[in-house]
Amino acid sequence: MLISTEVPLYSLQDINDNRVDFKVSETELKDFALGETVNLIGRDGSTRIGGTVESIRRKAN
């Protein structure tokens, strides 16, 4: 098979430095606090990731 020079064949990622950004409705913001431990569940229902709330930013109007 021929592969173009622009096509990445692999990627490297530090498993100790991952971030997830997600949107939370304004009415649910009160349910989260900085430093809180959270558990995220993937859309497939079986992928589970634990983490810590590092920052909370409100979207500008």
Distance CA(24)–CA(32), nearest Å, equals 10
The pLDDT of residue 36 is 95
Residue 17 contacts by C-beta under 8 Å, 6 or more apart in sequence? Answer: none
Residue 11 contacts by C-beta under 8 Å, 6 or more apart in sequence? Answer: none
Sequential pLDDT tens for the chain (61 residues): 678 888 888 888 887 887 888 888 888 888 999 999 999 898 999 999 888 999 988 776 6
The pLDDT of residue 61 is 64
